[in-house]
């Protein structure tokens, strides 16, 4: 678990990165000494505007130090989510930032191991792969079967019941989620 100070630091990094990148096309450099923020972790940065999704991109597997990954994913969420046009400078004051710091995914044997709201889920078969963050289950109110069907069809590009196939791999992970709105 991150401390409140570490959470605030990551939110400040994400905010400053988005603002400088959108306004000036540059990614700022940061000096971070906290050991927890220098660990390699998977992370998603989610942007909301007026309570609605405005961008969400992340990396499931650890690659960069956490603070660097937050900066990179902040830019990607603001400019490269294919579902949305890039964030414009005049929108910046309306954007709310949410960060999800992930645990390393673990393959599960059956869907009874999934706890909706606690677990993020990855479904994978062949070239098809999709992921839902843990908070998706709370936001949409689907049953576990509906959740998995939407994940397979809408995110992984597979048939809706692909999660039942023995050749389909299912992984779970957890996320520590915090945002500017929740005064992290």
Q: Residue 96 pLDDT > 90, yes or no? A: yes
Half-sphere exposure for 160 (CA within 13 Å, toward CB): 6
Residues 9 and 96 in one domain: yes
Residues 10 and 97 in one domain: yes
Q: What is the mean pLDDT of residues 32-42?
A: 95
Share of the chain above pLDDT 70, in %: 98
Residues 86 and 112 in one domain: no
Q: Render 106-125 in DSSP notation, one character per residue.
A: EE-SSGGG--BTTBEEEEEE
- The alpha-helical segments, DSSP class H, found in 25-114 are 35-38, 66-79
| pLDDT score, position 36 | 96
Q: Model-level pTM?
A: 0.86
Query: Which residue segment(s) compose the domain that 136 sits in?
Result: 106-173
| pLDDT score, position 138 | 81
Q: Among 72, 102, 132, give the residue marking a domain's end.
A: 102
What's the mean per-residue pLDDT of the chain?
Answer: 94
Q: Residue 51 pLDDT > 70, yes or no? A: yes
Inter-CA distances, 164 with 108, 118, 124, Å: 13, 21, 12
Q: Residue 184 pLDDT > 60, yes or no? A: no
- CATH code: domain of residue 114: 3.30.1490.150
Distance separating alpha carbons of residues 129 and 18, to the nearest angstrom:
28
């Amino acid at each position: 678990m991150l401390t409140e100070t570490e959470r605030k630091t990551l939110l400040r990094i994400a905010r400053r990165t988005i603002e400088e990148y959108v306004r000036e096309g540059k990614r700022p450099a940061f000096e971070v000494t906290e050991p927890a923020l220098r660990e390699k972790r998977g992370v998603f940065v989610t942007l909301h505007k007026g309570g609605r999704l405005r961008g969400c991109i992340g990396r499931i597997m650890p690659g960069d130090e956490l603070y660097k990954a937050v900066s990179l994913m902040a830019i990607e969420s603001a400019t490269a989510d294919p579902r949305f046009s890039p964030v414009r400078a005049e929108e910046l004051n309306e954007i709310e930032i949410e960060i999800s710091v992930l645990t390393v995914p673990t393959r599960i044997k059956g869907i009874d191991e999934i706890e909706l709201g606690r677990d993020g889920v990855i479904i994978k078969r062949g070239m098809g792969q999709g992921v839902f963050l843990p908070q998706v289950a709370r936001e949409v109110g689907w049953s576990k079967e509906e959740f998995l069907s939407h994940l397979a069809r809408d995110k992984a590009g597979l048939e809706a019941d692909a999660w039942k196939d023995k050749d389909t791999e299912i992984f779970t992970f957890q996320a520590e989620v915090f945002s500017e709105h929740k005064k992290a």
